[in-house]
Each structure stands twice: as structure tokens, then as C-alpha cells.
Amino acid sequence: MIIKNGSVYQEDKTFVKKDLYIENGFIVESAGQITDHSEIDASDLLVLPGLIDIHSHGAVGHDFSDGNPEGLEKILAYEYANGITSYCPTSMTIHRKELEHLFERMGNFQEGRGMAHVAGINMEGPFLDASKKGAHRQECIMAPDVDFFRKCNQACGNRICLVTLAPDVEGAMEFVRELHNEVSISLGHTGADYDTAKAALKAGANHVTHLFNAMLPLGHRAPGLIGAAAEEENCMAELICDGIHVHESMVRAAFKLFPGRIVLISDSMRAAGMEDGTYDLGGQQVTVNGKLATLSDGTIAGSATNLYDCMRTAVSFGIPVEEAIAAATINPARSIGIYDRVGSLSPGKRADVILADRNLKLVKVI
């Protein structure tokens, strides 16, 4: 296949007008390497890598924590239709046995055609600080447990690529030291001060879960996790850019604090792609009104949008389009160690390609 005359997004975050060649589902260097010479005219269109959402709980009425493969298929079809071609289904903090069962059921899951590829599993709970639990169930929070993590990971075929940890709870540092070579450890849902967060980052944590949310604010005398992570050049930071979770001025600030390290996420729950109403999130009732999803006490509870819309929202907030695209493609791929396979349109990588107009309106998923 040849995608002709498009403005192709490059690894250096520029656009080059060129043709893109695809053979057997992979990007190749030249026309001489293809046998299928069918063409797609991309004149006046942007040719982008498929987006990668590393933190999303669900959509279209389904949640990964339901443990229902058919539900996950519907989530993945929704994501694919919205330009997200790689996806990390994300678990909530549920009972220990339920988590084990969830990972066992999903270990052999294989997506079908017209669905986002499962790039790995994101284990957001249960190793959290109860004081910063957000929409996670307090009664299901547990202390960091290396053996339990390994049991869950083994149950799902070692597909867990990211795990959230509160560094201020007992046993957290031992968890980081023991597991940082096995999984990316993300710091979040925490009341950690600067020194505690810094120690965890030095021990091997390399990621922040939804920056600004469920953590201490950045203060000039108490910089907390945000200040500690900003100083670590290898630390990536997730950002929910739905216009609800983080004010637009702080979105702009985040891209300056973490240059080249922001990972846009949706953190969506089952209401994404659905009408307003009442839904379940990890066993708790959530009310959705527009983009706002809240618990009964008013706590913001995940988002009701998708990553593609978050990317467009970032651009509307003043983030350069090239940086917003990188934050939804290159950066998430790097953050979970899959940049050798996806995240850019380089030869040898999987041909996850989307076409958009100059306003970033999605035109086609290839």
C-alpha cells in the first residue's frame, strides 16, 4: 500500500511531504519493497502514527476491571475507531482475589481486526496512599507486596507494563528496588513529600501517574512529587488533558516542566463514548455530566473522553501541534518500552497509521 502526498509526521517532530509505504502490516523504506500497490491519496492531510493510550479503564459501557473479554473487545473497537491503535487496559483498586481473577482471565486475550492492540496492562491499584485514593476503593487498598505483584503478572503472562505505587507507604522503597527492572514503576495517588519521592525515583521509579491529580501540589517550599519528578530527566509524566482534571494554564506549565516527557492519557472510564448518566467505576457509582465524572462526594472520577480528544484539547490550550502529537505517540511508546515497534512512522515498525486534516479532525484509521 502507498499513502501518497501526505504530510508525514517524523521522529524529530516535523512534517515532511512524502509517500509512505506499507507491506504486510509494516512500514517499509521504498516502493521497491511492496507488492500491494493500492493507493490512498493523503493530499492536504496529516499522516500520523496511531495514538497510544497507556492509562484507560474503559469506554462504551465497559470496564477492564469487569474481567469480561467481550467487553474489552468493545473498548478496543471504540479506541481504534477514534485513532488509538495501541492501548493499555488499566485496572482499578478492587479486592485482591478479584484482581487475581481479572489478570488470569485477561492473560490469553487477543484482540481482533478493527481493534486497538493491547500493548500491555496498567496496574493502577492497589498499592496506594489511602489519603490520596481519588476514586479508588479505600477498603481494597493494600501495602506494596512484591509477591502479590509477581503473582498477578504471572497470571496474565507477564503483560503488566506499568504499576502505580505511593512511595510514602510502608514497603514502597523495597518494592521499587526489587521490581524496577521488571516493570515501569509509576508514582502516584500519594501524599509523598519531595525527599520521599526523590528517593523512590533514585531507587528506580521512572514515571508519574496523572500529574497534578491525587498528589500534593507543587509548592515553592514543598515541591513534593511534582518537583522531584521534574528534575529527573528519565521520568515521564502522565497528563489528563480533558479540560476538567487540569486547568489549561497548568497543561502549558506541565509541558515546560517536563520537556519531551509528557504522556497524554485519557484515564477514561466506562462512560467514554456514552450519554450522560450514572455508571460504575471499580465498584463505586459515578455520575457523568458532559465531560465531568464525579463520585457522590464530588471527587473527580476518571474522564469521559478519549486520548484523541485529549490531544486536540492540548492543541486548543496552546500546545504546539507537533508536541501534542508526540505526547500521544512517541512519549507513551517510550514510557512503556515499545518504541521499537510503534510510536512513529519509521521503517520496520507496525503500520499503525491515521490520517487527519489540518485541524486534527480524524479522517481515517489505516
Percent of the chain with pLDDT over 70: 100
pLDDT of residue 285: 83
pLDDT of residue 282: 65
57 marked as part of a ligand binding site: no
The H-assigned helical ranges of the chain are 69-81, 96-106, 146-155, 172-179, 194-203, 224-231, 248-257, 307-316, 321-328, 330-335
Q: d(Cα 320, Cα 255) in Å, to the nearest integer?
A: 10
- Quote the distance between the C-alpha of residue 277 and its chain's center: 25
Does residue 291 register a pLDDT over 80? no
Q: d(Cα 74, Cα 22) in Å, to the nearest integer?
A: 27
pLDDT in tens, 276-288: 888 877 677 888 8
Q: d(Cα 352, Cα 312) in Å, to the nearest integer?
A: 19
182 marked as part of a ligand binding site: no
pLDDT in tens, 315-363: 999 999 999 999 999 999 999 999 999 999 999 999 999 999 999 999 9
In the chain the domains, ranked by start, together with CATH numbers, are: 1-48+343-365 (2.30.40.10), 51-339 (3.20.20.140)
pLDDT of residue 88: 98
136 marked as part of a ligand binding site: no
221 marked as part of a ligand binding site: yes
213 marked as part of a ligand binding site: yes
Q: What number of CA atoms fall less than 13 Å from residue 320's CA on the CB side?
A: 10
Active site residues: 267
214 marked as part of a ligand binding site: yes
Burial 80-112 (b: 16+ CB within 10 A, else e): bbbbbbbbbbbbbbbeeebbeebbbbbbebebe
pLDDT in tens, 72-104: 999 999 999 999 999 999 999 999 999 999 999
pLDDT of residue 151: 97
- Quote the distance between the C-alpha of residue 126 and its chain's center: 18
333 marked as part of a ligand binding site: no
Q: What is the mean pLDDT of the chain?
A: 95
Does residue 48 register a pLDDT over 90? yes
- pTM score above 0.85: yes
pLDDT in tens, 298-315: 887 778 899 999 999 999
3-class secondary structure, 240: strand
- Quote the distance between the C-alpha of residue 134 and its chain's center: 18
In 3D space, the residue among 36, 158, 155, 161 whose CA is nearest the CA of residue 86 turns out to be 161
pLDDT of residue 337: 97
Residue 46: C-alpha distances to residues 10, 17, 250 (Å) = 11, 9, 28
37 marked as part of a ligand binding site: no
Run of H or E including 19: strand 15-23
pLDDT in tens, 187-219: 999 999 999 999 999 999 999 999 999 999 999
124 marked as part of a ligand binding site: yes
> Residue 199 is which amino acid?
A
236-240 and 15-23 beta bridge pairing = unpaired
